[in-house]
Structure 1
Amino acid sequence: MNMDNIEAFLYAFQLGSFNKAAEALYLTQPSITARIQSLERELEGPLFHRDGKQIALTERGKQFLPYAQKILHAYQEISSTLREQPLTEKSLTIGCTLLMSTHILPEILPIYRKKYPGVNIRILVGSSAYIMDKVLKKEADFGLVRTVSHPLIESFHLHTDTLHLVVPPQHPFRDIPRSKLTWDMVGKEPHIVLAHGTIEWFMVQRHYHRNQINPHIMMEVDNFEAAKKMVMRGVGISFLPELCIAEELANHLLFHISPQPAAQLTRKIDIICLRDGNRDLVEFFIHAVKALDRKTLMSKTI
């Protein structure tokens, strides 16, 4: 039921004339007539007796009058309350890993801010387990994490990330043909890996174990950005996520090598929320990622 039509009906009743209602609402008389006729069609009967310029409520109009007054009053009350609400009370809390905060959120949030400019956004950064805990405690509206599992959590696939082996541009491996570069040669190079016990650490260890290689691990760090900086400075080589290294590869600050057989090191990135959480919000972010041109988001992948 259209609020403008209800408002036209009430003004016409209170002022006793379609012309006066039009003047009060800064509309033309035909516009008022059209709105009331639309309402009459919806209610399947006339609301006014028309006698020249004089109007009077029909029985149907009298029955509808108190409901129309309540509807308009409720609408005005809701509108007033929402207008008076400070913008700082409209907030969104997103939990995410460091990689997500650095390489995915900067692409998505401008789209969200354009549609919802008055929302105050808070970002919580931590491990996937930490973010899941924040979502469970309702301290975050949703999270961007590696795949996690919990009976109260609902997960939606957002992106599949791949770890690639990278070296600094001046590294001699650049000049070795792929067919001649072996994992045995790579394993002897000093490796910079994510801290012991992380899923990425286990992925790299499992890969070398399958190839019967004991890699030379000379440094462990707690985040990929630190590992990337170390590789760029020539400290060692490392497996790094595609989202993390795209700009450096494009600017020739890092070089991707592919010993054979190719490593298959992938991990899923999910968006998580409570099962009774705001699904519309989650859907917005999922569609925002999918709507991005691959050259703006996924060009940051290899």
Structure 2
Amino acid sequence: MNMNDLSIFRTVVQTGSFSKAAEALNYTQSNISMKIQNLETMYQTIFFYRGHRGIRLTPKGEQFYEMVLKMLHLYEKSFEILQNPHEQRGLLRIGSMETTAALHLPGLLTSFHKAHEQVDITILTNPTQQNIERLENYELDGAFVTGPIYKENILAKEFVCEELVVVSSSKYRQIESLRDLEKSTLITFRNGCSYRAILEHWLHEDGVRPQNRMEFGTLDGIIGCVAAGLGVTLLPRAIAQKYMKTQSLSLHILTTKQAQVPTWFIYRNDEVQSPVLKDFLEAIDAYDYPSM
């Protein structure tokens, strides 16, 4: 077994088929199949159920996949740490919520990049739950999420605290309580978004059932539809105020709810931190919340 075999196994799992893995890696499908069979022979177990509808991991395969992710991550990380122990270079993969990326990351990354011009930074925007999963799967070095996060293998550093407000079109009726949303259309991010979960929890607490729902994958899509009067959403006050400069929006403060919600930066505690990640954590500590 070598790291290339493990990389092939990872690609098969992530693409969901031998043929797609072969295409992604520029191998023949028979070569991919042989590599997987060799791994199964060596471990004397079956990693994949094979059928007419494709492949899926067996319980042993799921266990092995978790170990493969960790082994490949440590292998790839070793080059960054051992070859350049003091140099500020390498790749930093950061996950973020759309709202945090739009409001806070430009300022944070500008100051960080000035001091780390040789660091390649990749920003991947996803809802909180997906960011947590990607961090646990070693696909991210860290992520900005809404907490709290209670996981043994994850550390969390508070970044900023946001005030959540209901956002509507400027022509929308006044909203003073959640009861006023009874006949409204809720416009939210897809499932896994913390702000969506908070709003749904509040509505459930108060026994409020909105008339309809619309789900979007981007912040611009949500803001555009809210400004057009199609419905309402729940967002950090700071991001809503930013969009009010170009969109016809109104903010509604819900005094009956605890609307102060912290944003956390999470990272793994079960591995050696790279010099780049250590510096990024220091940049987070030094970050100043922008004034609107």
- Normalization by structure 1: what TM-score? 0.57
Shift, 1:190, TM fit: 3.0
8 Å Cα contact 2:127-2:192 kept in structure 1? no
| Structure 1 match to 2:257 | 263
Q: Normalized per residue, which structure has more helix? A: 1
Look up the equivalent residue of 2:229 and give its one-letter code: G
Counterpart selection for 2:188 from 177, 193, 201: 193
Structure 1 residues 274 and 246, CA gap change in structure 2 (3 angstroms):
same
Separation (CA, whole Å) in 2 of partners of 1:109 and 1:143: 14
Instruction: Report % sequence identity.
Output: 18
Structure 1 residues 264 and 225, CA gap change in structure 2 (3 angstroms):
farther
Shift, 1:154, TM fit: 1.3
3-state SS of the aligned residue for 1:214? Answer: coil
Q: Gapped runs of 5+ residues in structure 2?
A: 1-82
Larger RCO (CA under 8 A, 6+ residues apart): 2
- Normalization by structure 2: what TM-score? 0.58
| Structure 2 match to 1:144 | 144
Separation (CA, whole Å) in 1 of partners of 2:272 and 2:136: 10
Structure 1 residues 125 and 211, CA gap change in structure 2 (3 angstroms):
closer
Q: Is 227-236 or 241-250 further displaced after alignment?
A: 241-250
Structure 1 residues 290 and 92, CA gap change in structure 2 (3 angstroms):
closer
Q: Gapped runs of 5+ residues in structure 1?
A: 1-80
| Structure 2 match to 1:220 | 215
Structure 1 residues 93 and 235, CA gap change in structure 2 (3 angstroms):
same
Shift, 1:189, TM fit: 3.0
Shift, 1:144, TM fit: 1.6
Structure 1 residues 266 and 202, CA gap change in structure 2 (3 angstroms):
same
2:150 maps to 1:155: no
3-state SS of the aligned residue for 2:108? Answer: helix
8 Å Cα contact 2:127-2:193 kept in structure 1? no
Quote the RMSD (CA, aligned, Å).
3.2
User: Which has the higher Rg, Structure 1 or Structure 2?
Assistant: 1
Look up the equivalent residue of 2:99 and give its one-letter code: L
Shift, 1:113, TM fit: 1.0
Separation (CA, whole Å) in 2 of partners of 1:165 and 1:104: 20
8 Å Cα contact 1:167-1:238 kept in structure 2? yes
Provide, for residues 204-257 of structure 1, a one-character-per-residue CA deviation record: whole Å limited to 9, x for no partner.
233233333332234233444322211111212222223431212345631112
Q: How many residues align?
A: 206
Counterpart selection for 2:230 from 235, 242, 245: 235
8 Å Cα contact 1:157-1:271 kept in structure 2? yes
